[in-house]
Amino acid sequence: MSTWIDIAALDDIQPRGARVIKTQHGCVAVFRAHDDRVYAIDDACPHKKGPLSEGIVHGNAVTCPLHNWVINLETGMAQGADDGRVNTYEIKVEDGRVLLDCERLITATTE
């Protein structure tokens, strides 16, 4: 069952940028790609917990600002030679508003 929560306006997020959502389990980064698709993943790189929301967004990936790990926003998987993944969350845009599936957020973070 999905529980969609209105997070923000799409325009609150810069294209190729990110904002964070505070949760009980730490921050979730919400990304807006160059093509206005949005993604939500944990704001902590699997490598050394670097804040992914501060990384450079390119295509549907983000490069961690600390040690340049590249994380796929769609899958949460580290790309290339690096091994690791971050939690991803269902997120969508409706009428210019960004909606996050809170149910998934809760189950995913308690895995």
Partner 1 sequence: MSQKLVIIGAGMASGKLIEELLDRAPDAYDIKLFGAEPRGNYNRIMLSPVLAGDKSFDEIVTHDADWYRENGIECRFNEAVVKVDRKRKIIVSERGETAYDKLIVATGSASFFIPVAGNDLPGVIGFRDYDDVETMLKAAGKPNGKAVVIGGGLLGLEAAAALSYQGMDVTVLHLMGHLMERQLDPAAGYLLQKELEGRGINVVCNAHTNAIIGKDHVEAVVLENDVTFGAGLVVMAAGIRPEVRLATDAGIHVERGIVVDDAMHTSDPDIFAVGECVEHDNIVYGLVAPLYDMAKVLASTLIEEEAKFTAPVVSTKLKVTGVDLFSVGDFAEAEDREEIVFRDPARGVYKRLIIQENRIIGVVMYGDTADSNWFFAKLKSGEDISENRETLIYGPAFQGGEIQDPLALIAALPNDAEICGCNGVCKGTIVDAINEGAHDLGAIKTSTKASASCGTCTGLVEQLLAATLGDAFEAPTSQPMCSCTDFAHEDVRRIIKSQELKTMAAVMQECGWKTSCGCPSCRPALNYYMIAEWPLEYKDDAQSRFVNERNHANIQKDGTYSVLPRMWGGMTTPDELRAIADAADKYNVPAVKVTGGQRIDLLGVRKEDLPDMWADLNAAGMVSGHAYSKGLRTVKTCVGTDFCRFGTQDSTGLGIKLEKILWGSWTPHKVKLGVSGCPRNCAEATCKDLGIVCVDSGYEVSVAGAAGMEVKKTEFLAKVETEDEAINLSIAFIQLYREQGRYLDRIWKWVHKVGLEWIKEQVVEDLKQRAELIERFEISQSVYRKDPWAEQSTEQFKKDKWSAVADLTLEAAE
User: Which residues lie near partner 1 (CB under 8 A)?
Assistant: 5, 7-8, 12-17, 19-25, 27-28, 30, 34-35, 48-51, 54-59, 63, 65-68, 79-82, 100, 102, 105-106, 109
Nearer to partner 1, 22 or 95 (CB): 22
Distance of alpha carbon 77 from alpha carbon 10, whole angstroms: 24
Among candidates 46, 86, 38, 45, which has minimal Cα distance to 54?
45
Nearer to partner 1, 76 or 98 (CB): 98
- Strand 38-42 versus strand 88-89 pairing type: antiparallel
Among candidates 55, 91, 61, 58, which has minimal Cα distance to 73?
61
Q: How far is CA 104 from CA 57, 58, 65, 78, in A?
A: 24, 25, 27, 21
Q: How far is the CB of 16 from partner 1 (least distance, A)?
A: 4
Q: How far is the CB of 83 from partner 1 (least distance, A)?
A: 11
Q: How far is the CB of 105 from partner 1 (least distance, A)?
A: 6
Q: How far is the CB of 62 from partner 1 (least distance, A)?
A: 9
